Amino acid sequence: MELSWLEDFLALAECGNFSRAAEGRNLTQPAFSRRIRALEDWTGTPLFDRTTQPVGLTEAGRRFRPFADETLRRLLQGREEARLAGGAAATALRFAATHALSLTFFPNWLRTLEGRARLGAIHLLSDSMQACEQVMMQGQAQFLLCHAHAAAPSRLEGGAFRSVAVGSDRLVPVSAPDGTGAPRHPLSGDGSALPHLAYSPESGMGRIVTAARGGFPGPVALETVFTSHLAAVLRTLARDGRGAAWLPESLIAEDLAQGTLLRAGGSAWEIAVEVRLYRPRARQSPAAEAFWALATAQQPPHQDGREQE
């Protein structure tokens, strides 16, 4: 059960209208309805009578409401008291980042920011995109750094989170060379089968590759021969000649320069992505707010409400 579900429940109980409650929670109505349904699945019973206008609470919902009110109030109060008691811990910055960016982008980006201002202690959790999103939704990190693409929105888009683009990258289809120096597994665009080193569903880059396939210059039959959420693992297998993989250019720049990996197709097969920094909309610690201001300095707003470089 997620804390946001209780906030959604109380918002709908207060106004009795799905559209207005969703708007107040900065969610689309379908997304809001799914979260209400998820809470009802968790409790094991309907909490709202959808046959009435305005929407009313069922008897179960009426009994649940005071517990929801008290639970939410005590959790938020406890969080604030813990932050105050934390003292020096309140100055620490807690990041979640996907594995590939933890290895490539994050260290240099942080070094650049530290050259502009003094930062406190840094705590970094490196995991799959799905795990990082969960960490953010549970309030265990203040920031998430990940690859992003408009066709594959994160679970954190809109609602309780906001984001800004802090860099760019490309997912490049690559293959080991064959004996002649050509790609062993080239992209032909004629629908030929291609052994594919694929990302697992937990991977954000896997979501992006799947969503962006419609923009490829030709059909391709990807036959998955290996799956992992770790780009570094797929990189090793690609170098061993096991298949082709779409890998972040930031991770394989040295391989491309040395020829241990080759582009399996032209630039039209590559996927341009952003490196995006997410944070909760709610105000955070002074240290976290100062870091956000530093990271987003001179970043104009994006036309969809997000911020960008």
Round to whole Å and give the CA distance between 169 and 154: 17
The answer, as to whether pTM is greater than 0.85, is no
DSSP letter at 202 equals T
Round to whole Å and give the CA distance between 14 and 21: 8
**More confident site: 80 or 297:** 297
Tell me how far CA of residue 19 lies from CA of 103, 165, 196, 224, in angstroms. Answer: 42, 30, 43, 42
pLDDT tens digits, 268-284? 999 999 999 999 988 88
Q: How far apart are the first and last CA of the chain?
A: 35
Ordered domains of the chain (ranges, CATH) = 3-86 (1.10.10.10), 92-309 (3.40.190.290)
Element (H, E) at 308: none
- Would you say residue 259 has pLDDT above 70? yes
pLDDT of residue 169: 96
Round to whole Å and give the CA distance between 260 and 289: 43
What mean pLDDT comes out for the span 116-127? 90
- Would you say residue 301 has pLDDT above 60? no
Round to whole Å and give the CA distance between 106 and 36: 36
pLDDT of residue 84: 57
- Which of 45-54, 127-136, 185-194, 270-279 shows the lowest mean pLDDT across its residues? 185-194
Report the candidate in 172, 175, 150, 176 with the shortest Cα–Cα distance to residue 163.
Answer: 150
- Would you say residue 89 has pLDDT above 60? no
pLDDT tens digits, 202-235? 899 999 999 998 889 888 889 999 999 999 999 9
What mean pLDDT comes out for the span 68-78? 77
Report the candidate in 42, 30, 32 with the shortest Cα–Cα distance to residue 1.
Answer: 42
- In the chain, the largest separation of any two C-alpha atoms, in whole Å, equals 74
Q: Which two tokens stand for residue 230?
A: 């770790």
- Would you say residue 297 has pLDDT above 90? no
Report the candidate in 230, 121, 238 with the shortest Cα–Cα distance to residue 174.
Answer: 238
- Which of 60-74, 164-178, 219-233 shows the lowest mean pLDDT across its residues? 60-74
Residue with tokens 């109060």: 77
53: exposed, middle or buried (C-beta count within 10 Å: 0-12, 13-18, 19+)? exposed
Residue with tokens 């994006």: 302
pLDDT of residue 300: 45
* Residue 134's pLDDT band (cuts 50, 70, 90): confident
What mean pLDDT comes out for the span 26-42? 92
Round to whole Å and give the CA distance between 24 and 281: 13
What mean pLDDT comes out for the span 162-169? 95
Total Cβ atoms within 10 A of residue 76: 13
Round to whole Å and give the CA distance between 220 and 174: 15
- Would you say residue 88 has pLDDT above 70? no
Round to whole Å and give the CA distance between 272 and 284: 31
Round to whole Å and give the CA distance between 211 and 50: 34
279: exposed, middle or buried (C-beta count within 10 Å: 0-12, 13-18, 19+)? buried
- Would you say residue 181 has pLDDT above 80? yes
Amino acid type, 150: A
